[in-house]
Amino acid sequence: MKSDGRRQGIMDFLMDIGTASVDDLASRFGVSKMTVHRDLDELEESGFLRKVRGGASIQPSSLFESDFRYRQRLAGDEKKRIAVAAVRMIEPGQTVIIDDGSTAGGVARHLADLRPLTVISNNLAVIQDLAGVAGINLIALGGQYSKKFHGFFGLLAEDTLKSLRADVAFLSSSAIHGASAFHQDQEVVQTKRLMMAAAARKYLLADHGKFGRTALHFLTDLKAFDMVFTGREPQPQVRAALDGAGVSLTVIAE
């Protein structure tokens, strides 16, 4: 197997199990451990995984956010419930921003019943879902495509957002600590902040696994959102911190 195909195979394997040892990967692909280390170095440098002691992982950390394909597989039922509840915040004729997050991206599947709408997004999955849908005026943010985040970022996307205004924005965050939202990537943070600035009303969509985690870059205080949607009641100490900070939290239980 050539190196490109093997590295793709490593990523596909990690998508299923999250973490693997060098020994397991060497055995699975029939190569030396040194070859596996070189593959992992290349994949880590490209931002697709993080090396850990004795192996590699695509699970998130404070410095590393998972590939979008892995994130899409997590808390699927909860994310669907959140999207169904969040879409009730939209009225026909409005302009809606949807960010690159897998939870916020789920809103796109429910927009056909609310047409006409204008939808602004840097999320390639959202763009593909809505392209050509009658009654949806789609504005796709340009910029540099990120394979890891499956979206568009950079100066072109940022300059476009500065020239637009919307009624509603749906955003996701990779980590919530206390009453603040965080993300591992500063370019993603900048795009999300500009989306918030462009919208009259802002909603954060976060599955329960995001709470109690932190990441390198501060995104915003949760009070900046009109409402935070999640799918499971947070731990008592987490809920107390949110209530104490005046955060409007809506739990969409099963």
The pLDDT of residue 1 is 66
Q: Comparing 3-59 with 74-251, is the CATH topology the same?
A: no
Domains of the chain, by residue range, sit at: 3-59, 74-251
The pLDDT of residue 164 is 98
Angle between helices 186-198 and 155-162 (to 10 degrees): 10
pLDDT in tens, 47-74: 889 999 999 999 888 888 877 777 777 7
Local structure of 202: helix, strand or coil:
strand
What's 225's DSSP letter? Answer: S
Residues 6 or more apart from 76 whose CB is under 8 A from it?
A: none
Domain 74-251, classified CATH 3.40.50.300, yes or no: no
The pLDDT of residue 238 is 93
Mark the ranges of the chain whose per-residue pLDDT is less than 70. Answer: 1
Domain 3-59, classified CATH 1.10.645.10, yes or no: no
Beta 55-57 vs 50-52: how paired, if at all?
antiparallel
The pLDDT of residue 70 is 79
pLDDT in tens, 96-112: 999 999 899 999 999 99
In the block, tokens 């690159």 appear at 100
Gap between the Cα atoms of 3 and 41, Å rounded:
12
- In this prediction the pTM is 0.85
- Provide the CB-side half-sphere exposure for 133 (13 A, CA): 23
